[in-house]
Amino acid sequence: MGEKKKYIIDTSAILSGKLNIWENDYIYPDSVIKEIRSGSLEKILEVADIKTCSPDPEYIKMAGEAALKTGDYHVLSSTDIDVIALAIELNGIIITDDYAIQNVARYCGIEYTEGGISGIKKNIIWKYRCTGCHKIYNEYRKICPVCGHEVKRYSKK
């Protein structure tokens, strides 16, 4: 018999209400509790046999670097990075409805599944284009240093 699969869940998966927390072995980062605002959900997580742990800093760094490469870093919370890091560290399967987490997971070769909505179908590498002068950047920036207009994210084809 093989090793039991580890499911790493993020806040969106918990809030979807579609997880059967009594059937599978779920793990979530300690930081997920900070994102949950409902006392009843917090109590359910305490009663259910769901493990919590914090990812090793080495894996947090790896997850952050991958998010920078895909262009998703600035839209991910530190909890999202923790979810990805735990999946790398534990060779787990992520359950999330967050497209940015799915995109970074896909980039890293991490298996993921949706919590309640349909997931992404292909890798996305984001670029950034100034709305004024149309200069293109590889890294996130809010304002164009050339003309001062807002910079918007778009999918590289």
The answer to whether the predicted template modeling score (pTM) of the entire model surpasses 0.85 is: no
Q: Three-state SS for 105?
A: helix
- Under 8 Å CB-to-CB from 76, ≥6 apart: which residues? 67, 84, 100, 101, 104
Dihedral of CA atoms 82, 123, 65, 145 in degrees, nearest 10, equals -120
Choice among 44-48, 60-64, 69-73 with the minimum mean pLDDT? 44-48
User: pLDDT digit string (tens) for 108-126?
Assistant: 999 998 765 666 677 777 8
Domains in the chain with CATH codes: 7-113 (3.40.50.1010), 126-155 (2.20.28)
25 within 8 A of 7, measured Cβ to Cβ: yes
User: Across the chain, what does the average pLDDT equal?
Assistant: 83
